[in-house]
Structure 1
Amino acid sequence: MNRPVVGIIGNQHMINDTYEVHAGGSMNSDAVANVAKCLPLLIPSDPRYVTVDELLEVCDGFVLTGGRPNVHPEEYGHEPTPAHGDFDRCRDAITLPLVRRCVETGQPFFGICRGYQEVAVAMGSTLHPEIRDLPGRMNHRMPPDGTLEEKFALRHCVTFTEDGPFHRVLGAREVMTNTLHGQGICQAGERVVVDGFAPDGTPEAIYVEDAPGFTLSVQWHPEYNATNDPVSRPLFEAFGAAVRAWAEGRRATPMLKSA
């Protein structure tokens, strides 16, 4: 039986400062293939090569991955500054309309780190360019040194809304997560529901209110050690179930409102 197809949003990357590629972390493919039980398909996120209509036709669901470049602040009405870092307008041109179309139709997506911010911006949110500069906030960025295990180590808890979708999927109101991001939600869009917070008040988990499909998105990186991590695994399993339901011609049961 064919596995449903999950499009994994790729990032532009330069090999040896000369050769352009579209790349995706193998841990994203591993989580999609071995936990969500879907077929991972890397997408060159550039409107010169693909269209949103084509992606919606080919893929049953999408993982909006993390990435070093940030969503361009013009997408949420702000002027760019050095604090906003690097940008990828080609990826913006694919992912933002893709999110809106999926929200409309119910096609499942799972937003991760930059992907979480794409979901937020696509649905009318604004972003802080550097949350560690805000009073009372911790440094959520990836440690500059250390092994991969040290960079992705669990560093803070996230607390979810009682009986919200994350609480129901994970079976716990508080979990430990890694943290490797610099930006964060400033003002949530009208339909963006913040369902989980870090101890310093940083929004860490969102979904889109009244969307007919799976829209859960997280600011941390659940693709790391997804097979074994007790937080990551149920998130990818729930996403995989929603993708299979879509592929079978059924709408996934929305997990979008507190009971």
Structure 2
Amino acid sequence: MSLSSGKPWVGVVADVKVIPPHPFHTVGDKYLRALVQAADVVPVLLPALSDLVDVRAWIKRLDGVFLPGGYSMVHPEHYDGEHIEGTLYDEARDQLSLDLIRSTLDAGKPLFGVCRGLQEMNVALGGSLHQHLHKVGPYQEHREDKTLTVAEQYADAHRINCVSGGQLERITGVQEYRVNSLHTQGIDRLAPGVTAEAIADDGLVEAFSVDGATAFAMAVQWHPEWRVMENQPNKNLFEAFGAACRQTQLL
């Protein structure tokens, strides 16, 4: 049963950031607003305290889980990758997210990953990542230009092609569209048990769904939360996630 008799409650994974002198658990405003406006759910921040809490007990009280983007990278120890000096990691978030992903799917509840969230889902299910896409051919530049304004950084950057007849095409209502691109890492080996839903022109998997999931279980590499109410395909994604959470609420 939901925590509320009204709108569904969705757990949102928090980053751990030091705002001197203390660590804080944080979630970006744009994700929370998209969940409220487009998905029509109540976001509940989940602190990265896996060592102190029972994640499965949390899931029982929630109607869905959302994995937002973040500036840190998934630690390569989780997919037998090589540590690269100078990379920003958030191992507390990794611990929470990877456990939460598996437990949410086991519980049959909706799961939606964005950017880092896609990378976490791929790793949690047995896939691997390219840590620096810009150093691996044949991929185009997927990072944002930080000399630009935020609006310019989040502008459409490249095209994606939805897999014909796939879930993403059905949800968004389009076969191809342009998306923003603000990521350093990307999928190397796609996890077993998932299906690619969209491919960039350079061949990078930009979205996937989880095979056999009993509820919405999808991840995308771009940032659909950005000005979501102005972008119908992205709005459709959040609406589909919200509808799945409402369905869970009724169970």
TM, length-normalised to structure 2: 0.94
- State the match for 1:254 in structure 2: none
Given residue 51 of structure 1, which amino acid in structure 2 is its aligned partner?
D
Given residue 76 of structure 1, which amino acid in structure 2 is its aligned partner?
Y
- State the match for 1:9 in structure 2: 13
8 Å Cα contact 1:129/1:184 also seen in 2: yes
- State the match for 1:28 in structure 2: 31
CA distance in 2 between counterparts of 1:112 and 1:46 reads 21
Residues 1-259 of structure 1 mapped to structure 2, 5 A cutoff: 2-15=6-19, 17-82=20-85, 85-249=87-251
8 Å Cα contact 1:60/1:108 also seen in 2: yes
Task: Report SS of the residue matched to 2:39.
Answer: coil
Q: Compute the displacement of 1:53 (Å).
A: 1.5
Deviation track 1:189-208 (CA, whole Å, cap 9, x = no partner) reads 21121111111111100111
CA RMSD of aligned residues (A): 1.3
CA distance in 1 between counterparts of 2:212 and 2:239 reads 22
Q: Compute the displacement of 1:236 (Å).
A: 0.1
Given residue 129 of structure 1, which amino acid in structure 2 is its aligned partner?
Q
In the alignment, structure 1 segments of 5+ residues that lack a partner are 250-259
Q: Compute the displacement of 1:104 (Å).
A: 2.1
CA distance in 2 between counterparts of 1:123 and 1:48 reads 21
8 Å Cα contact 1:125/1:192 also seen in 2: no
Deviation track 1:91-113 (CA, whole Å, cap 9, x = no partner) reads 11111121112222211011000
CA distance in 1 between counterparts of 2:28 and 2:91 reads 20
8 Å Cα contact 1:44/1:50 also seen in 2: no
Deviation track 1:150-186 (CA, whole Å, cap 9, x = no partner) reads 1111111110110100000011110111011001111
Given residue 163 of structure 1, which amino acid in structure 2 is its aligned partner?
G
CA distance in 2 between counterparts of 1:146 and 1:81 reads 26
Q: Compute the displacement of 1:49 (Å).
A: 4.4
CA distance in 1 between counterparts of 2:69 and 2:31 reads 10
Deviating 4+ runs (over 4 angstroms): none
CA distance in 2 between counterparts of 1:71 and 1:211 reads 23
CA distance in 1 between counterparts of 2:24 and 2:91 reads 16
Q: Compute the displacement of 1:20 (Å).
A: 1.7
8 Å Cα contact 2:39/2:238 also seen in 1: yes
CA distance in 1 between counterparts of 2:160 and 2:224 reads 13
CA distance in 1 between counterparts of 2:48 and 2:188 reads 26
Count of aligned pairs between the two proteins: 247
CA distance in 2 between counterparts of 1:63 and 1:6 reads 7
